[in-house]
Every structure is written in structure tokens, then in C-alpha cells.
């Protein structure tokens, strides 16, 4: 976990200004201010191909809010392991969870130095009863994440493991993706949940062309088919409505999902 100003200097020195970075591109798509010229140029190119991309990003954030609210309010979850946190924005995981249950504990995980710099300032701003903290780790090293999380979370009580828009960055290899999920979900107890959101290989040619453009501008994302994403829940009980375009997951208010189906798919699964 982070500690002291020397960490800040070290982190600042590791920021790559020349190439687009996932967290900053995501921030630019969400109209945030924590991004650089390289990220904005990448977004410009991607949006030229598919002008719907910023809208998908907002739909993904709305999915995060609805799933965390469901977990805190309806499923009684009080511990969250949010891997691939992104740069702080409105309604971060701890804010949504602690608005329902102030005692909630959140461990954020990311490997981007700018995310880590912002994390100390913003994400650790928590309720007096709760806790939110930060781990620098790569999702491709699940054991490191679990070991760090054990310092904060109680692994005898249910935990929501959240992977939203990260695994398409982390690996192009589907079996590797499945192994990462198994190694993260293996140590958490019965009653825990997986929240997964990923770009899906749909039939939408404009979107698929934009994903090709992403790779061309140095920001590759590896899509899985909806069937492959659904199979990630095979040892879990998928919560209704299952794995669906994210704007179709329990829209709030019900019936407000009038937009076409989003190309990002998401779901929530209970570990029996």
C-alpha cells in the first residue's frame, strides 16, 4: 500500500506521457480532466470511427453504480475488491457502497501510476465507520492481489470481486482470463460475488471497427463473445437478468433502458 511523499515522486516518474493509457483514455471518454494529449488524440481517433464510445463508457459507469448498490443494499455485501479501479470520478465504488452501508470496506487495485497518485488523495476519503484503501498490483498476478487484500478484508465473510473493463486490457488469451478469474474467486468464501463487465464481440460493425482503431492508436482491447463472457460464471449462480448488455442490467428506473443494447456486457454471479 502507498506510504509517504517519496512514493509520489516515484509514481510521477513512472507516468508515460507519450502513449495512451487505459485509465486516462477511459477518463477522457468520460469527459474527465485527468488525461494527457496522447490519450485525447487516441479518443479523437476512436470516436471518429464510433461516435457512440463515450456513451458506452457512461453506460459502463452506470452499471458499476447499479451493481454496487445491489450488492450493498440487497445482497448485504460489506467488502469490495475492485480491480482495475480507474481514475476517480463521480460515484466511485466506496461512495456508492458506503452511502448504503457506511461500514463497508473497499480495496482498490490498479497498476497505473496516475491512478495510484489520485487514489491516495481521493479514494481514501471514506466514512468514519468504513475503510477504503489501495493496492498497486497487476491483475495478471492474482495471488499478489489476494495476499494484499487479506491484510484488510476478512476472508471468512463474503467479498464482491469486481473486474469492470479490465480483462480485455490484461490478456488476449481467453484461457488466461479464465485462470485469473478462478484464482481470484477461489480464495473468497461462499456467499461472495463476481461482478464482471467487458467489451463484447457483438455484431456491431461500427464498434468492431473502433476496436481495431483502438489497437492502431496504441490502445488495444481484446473482445470476448457474449458466450465466452457468460462461461466465466459457470461455477457461480448468475443473478437475474444474467449476463446482458450493461444498460439492460436492472435499469433504474425499470424500463429506462431505451438505448440500443450496449456493446459492453456485464453480469453478477454468486459463489454458492
Ligand X SMILES: C[S@@+](CC[C@H](N)C(=O)[O-])C[C@H]1O[C@@H](n2cnc3c(N)ncnc32)[C@H](O)[C@@H]1O
Considering the rule CB under 6 A, would residue 139 count as an interface residue with ligand X? yes
Closest distance between ligand X and the C-beta of residue 156, in Å?
26
Q: Which of 34, 39, 110, 257 binds ligand X (CB under 6 A)?
A: 110
- For residues 163 and 139, the answer to whether their CB atoms sit within 8 Å is yes
Q: Which is nearer to ligand X, 15 or 272 (CB)?
A: 15
Q: Smallest Cα–Cα separation from 248: which of 67, 83, 114?
A: 67
Q: Measured from the CB atom, is 86 or 245 closer to ligand X? A: 86
Residue 20 near ligand X by CB under 6 A: no
To the nearest whole angstrom, how small is the minimum distance from the Cβ of residue 209 to ligand X? 19
Task: Give residue for cell 476496436.
Answer: 211
Q: Is 112 in the site for ligand X (CB under 6 A)?
A: yes
Does 81 help bind ligand X (rule: CB under 6 A)? Answer: no
How far is residue 162's CA from residue 138's CA, in Å, rounded to a whole number? Answer: 14
Note whether 97 binds ligand X by CB under 6 A.
Answer: no
Residue 1 and residue 134 in contact, taking contact as beta carbons nearer than 8 Å? yes
The count of chain residues that interact with ligand X, using the rule CB under 6 A, is 21
Minimum distance from CB of 119 to ligand X (Å)?
10
Choice from 38, 72, 79, 84 touching ligand X (CB under 6 A):
84
Alpha helix locations (H) across the chain?
Answer: 5-13, 22-29, 37-49, 53-73, 93-100, 113-118, 142-150, 167-170, 174-185, 205-216, 226-231
Closer CB to ligand X, residue 145 or residue 236? 145
**How far is CA 96 from each of CA 101, 146, 178, rounded to the nearest angstrom?**
9, 23, 28
Residues paired with 266 in a beta bridge: 197, 244
Footprint of ligand X on residues 186-245 (CB under 6 A)? none
Output the nine-digit C-alpha cell for 43: 479518443
The distance of closest approach from Cβ of residue 31 to ligand X in the complex, given in angstroms and rounded to an integer, is: 13
Pairwise CA distance, residues 102 & 53, whole Å: 34
Q: Binding to ligand X by residue 85, rule CB under 6 A? A: yes
Give the binding site for ligand X (CB under 6 A): 22-23, 26, 60-61, 64, 84-86, 110-112, 115, 138-140, 164-166, 169-170
Amino acid at each position: 500500500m502507498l506510504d509517504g511523499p517519496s512514493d509520489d515522486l516515484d509514481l510521477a516518474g513512472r507516468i508515460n506521457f507519450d502513449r495512451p493509457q487505459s485509465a486516462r483514455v477511459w477518463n477522457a471518454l468520460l469527459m474527465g480532466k485527468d488525461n494527457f494529449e496522447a490519450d485525447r488524440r487516441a479518443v479523437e481517433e476512436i470516436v471518429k470511427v464510433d461516435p457512440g464510445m463515450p456513451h458506452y463508457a457512461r453506460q459502463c459507469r452506470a452499471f458499476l453504480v447499479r451493481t454496487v448498490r445491489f450488492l450493498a443494499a440487497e445482497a448485504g455485501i460489506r467488502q469490495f475488491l475492485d480491480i482495475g479501479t480507474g481514475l476517480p470520478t463521480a460515484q466511485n465504488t466506496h461512495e456508492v457502497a458506503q452511502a448504503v452501508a457506511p461500514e463497508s470496506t473497499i480495496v482498490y487495485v490498479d497498476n497505473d501510476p496516475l491512478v495510484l497518485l489520485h487514489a491516495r488523495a481521493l479514494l481514501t476519503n471514506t466514512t468514519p465507520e468504513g475503510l477504503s484503501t489501495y493496492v498497486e498490483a497487476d491483475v495478471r498476478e492474482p495471488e499478489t492481489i489476494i495476499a494484499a487484500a487479506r491484510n484488510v478484508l476478512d476472508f471468512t465473510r463474503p467479498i464482491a470481486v469486481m473486474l469492470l473493463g479490465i480483462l480485455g486490457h490484461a490478456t488476449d488469451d481467453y484461457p488466461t482470463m479464465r485462470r485469473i478469474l478462478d484464482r481470484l474467486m477461489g480464495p473468497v468464501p461462499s456467499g461472495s460475488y463476481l461482478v464482471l463487465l467487458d467489451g463484447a464481440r457483438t455484431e456491431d460493425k461500427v464498434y468492431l471497427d473502433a476496436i481495431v482503431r483502438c489497437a492502431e492508436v496504441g490502445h488495444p482491447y481484446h473482445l470476448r463473445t457474449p458466450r465466452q463472457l457468460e462461461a466465466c460464471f459457470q461455477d457461480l449462480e448468475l443473478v437475474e437478468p444474467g449476463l446482458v448488455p450493461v444498460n439492460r442490467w436492472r435499469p433504474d428506473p425499470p424500463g429506462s433502458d431505451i438505448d440500443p443494447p450496449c456493446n459492453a456486457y456485464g453480469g453478477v454471479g454468486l459463489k454458492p
